[in-house]
Structure 1
Amino acid sequence: MTTTTPRRGDPLDDFTRRTIDVDGTHKTVYVTGTGPAVVLMPEMPGISPDVARLARWIRDAGFTVYLPSLFGTDGARATTEAGRDVMRRACVSAEFRAFAGGGTSPVTGWLRGLARTAHAECWGPGIGAIGLCFTGNFALTMALEPAVIAPVVNHPSLPLDDPAALELSAQDAAALADRIHRDNLTVLAYRFQGDTWCTGRRFAAYRALLGDAFDGRELPATAANPDPPPFFRDLVGCAHSVVTAHLVDRSGHPTVRARDEILDFLTARLAPDA
């Protein structure tokens, strides 16, 4: 695995750029690898070099990665101001429910369709779904699709205005809890201690909904990369992105162990005979 820290834009030229249609809605999806499918959703402010690096690690572990473009400039290492503009637009977009009381984000319906497409195209018992930050909870919502059997929820930040709430309608929350327990699934989740965007109260809300099926893991804030990209340094302002912007790519580091735990989780559920 690479040991370099991405500092410039990423051309994404080792991905196949596709346009995928779900019920008449077309979105760009970057695809790479072979093996069981994993849908990796970007964090704010988009498909950054750090998100692309994570996609390659997943690919190199034996999976086909589907990386949808949901916001921002694909491959860019956004400045603070550019990232702030992307976040503002996403917060008022009809596709997302960034604030409490909004219920489930409509874009998750399209993502569930992407999950069906990915599963049909790749072998395996099901697919994985990984959410990051703004899309963190989407990985759980995608589990309403039966093909999704390995959801990973990383530092979910929605809703932005209620640290103890989940970005779910009451109906979807009940359906998800039923599906997770009926099919004996586990939801793997990560956050940094002291993260003000994804608080311990949010993880407590997940545990209240899912019980022991929610495997929420917390890393000390001191383990975060002290020199993240400008958007995370200036706007996020705290230890937040466990396996992307705040990962320290050094053998044995807590964030690298978290990455490897995610890869092991995917392998155990999607390629148990690997």
Structure 2
Amino acid sequence: MTNALARWTAGTHTHEGTTHPTYRQGSGPGVVVIHEVPGLTEAVVAFAQEVVDAGYTVVLPHLFGAAGRPFAVSDTLAVLPRLCVSREFAVWRTGRTAPVAGWLRSLAADLHHELGGPGVGALGMCFTGGFALAMMVEEHTVAPVLCQPSVPFAVGAARAADLNLSPGDLDVVKGRCAAGQQVLGLRYRTDPMVGTRFDTLTRELGDAFIRVEFDGRGHSTVTEQRQQEGVDAVMGFLETHLHG
């Protein structure tokens, strides 16, 4: 175990024959923090530690790449080709929910059943940003946060606008939002990787979608190009939906 994860308890979660490592720390309501490309970097772990320190039980699934290392372009270049051909991640197709969403929903359900309360939070970043929305299909996820959601890759207008959800899953998400659920989204306004999907979220979810947007050049809103306003918005959102 790396120094970055020394305070975290290692484990695994298995769903329908698929197993991924997990790291856990904290007490209080559950929050699943899903790492970005290239992996479970030091910056992701540091952000997750802030969530722990704010009074939550945080689980870090380790889905791909290295764990506990600093962000490196070389790691990104190494991991992306494998992700593009993986059956777990729908990186090119529109109108499809990534299969890994089932594993993440199972993880959230187990965490909720153990801890109780109103439900769990879920935060995805970049490559995994839309996974938090997909987790909302199950009622256990009550505080979904989308940080710069970037899949499917924004090549062409259709992919740039797509939410990485099947039509049926989108209908469920829209129904939950109509019943009062909210979704928080963070991005840099000029980030090309997010495409136009924030506009899609506003159109489909209406006022239930809370947009937090930043000027300037950047991508990773709570890690590498961290915006404190964004971190504060995440903490306030979790407080409202998990403690409120």
User: How does the TM-score come out when normalised to structure 1?
Assistant: 0.84
Asked whether 1:145 is paired with 2:138, we answer yes
Any idea what SS the aligned residue of 1:70 has? coil
Task: Give the aligned CA root-mean-square deviation in angstroms.
Answer: 1.3
Trace 1:76-91 onto structure 2 (pairs within 5 A). Answer: 76-91=69-84
Give 1:11 shift. 3.5
2:197 paired residue number: 202
Partner AA of 1:246 in structure 2: Q
Partner AA of 1:268 in structure 2: T
1:178 paired residue number: 175
Trace 1:90-129 onto structure 2 (pairs within 5 A). Answer: 90-101=83-94, 103-129=96-122
Trace 1:14-93 onto structure 2 (pairs within 5 A). Answer: 14-93=7-86
Any idea what SS the aligned residue of 1:62 has? coil
1:215 paired residue number: 210
1:271 paired residue number: 243
Consecutive unaligned residues in structure 1, runs of 5 or more: 1-8, 222-237, 248-254
Partner AA of 1:256 in structure 2: Q
Preserved CA contact (<8 Å) 1:21 1:27 = yes
Consecutive unaligned residues in structure 2, runs of 5 or more: none
Give 1:15 shift. 0.4
One of 194, 208, 218 as aligned partner of 1:239: 218
In 2, Cα distance between the equivalents of 1:82 and 1:27?
A: 19
In 2, Cα distance between the equivalents of 1:258 and 1:79?
A: 23
Give 1:170 shift. 1.4
User: How does the TM-score come out when normalised to structure 2?
Assistant: 0.94
2:230 paired residue number: 258
Preserved CA contact (<8 Å) 1:155 1:190 = yes
Any idea what SS the aligned residue of 2:160 has? coil
Partner AA of 1:267 in structure 2: E
Preserved CA contact (<8 Å) 1:134 1:158 = yes
1:235 paired residue number: none
In 2, Cα distance between the equivalents of 1:19 and 1:117?
A: 12
| Structure 1 residue ranges, 4+ long, deviating more than 4 angstroms after superposition | none
The number of aligned residues is 239
Give 1:62 shift. 0.2
Partner AA of 1:163 in structure 2: A
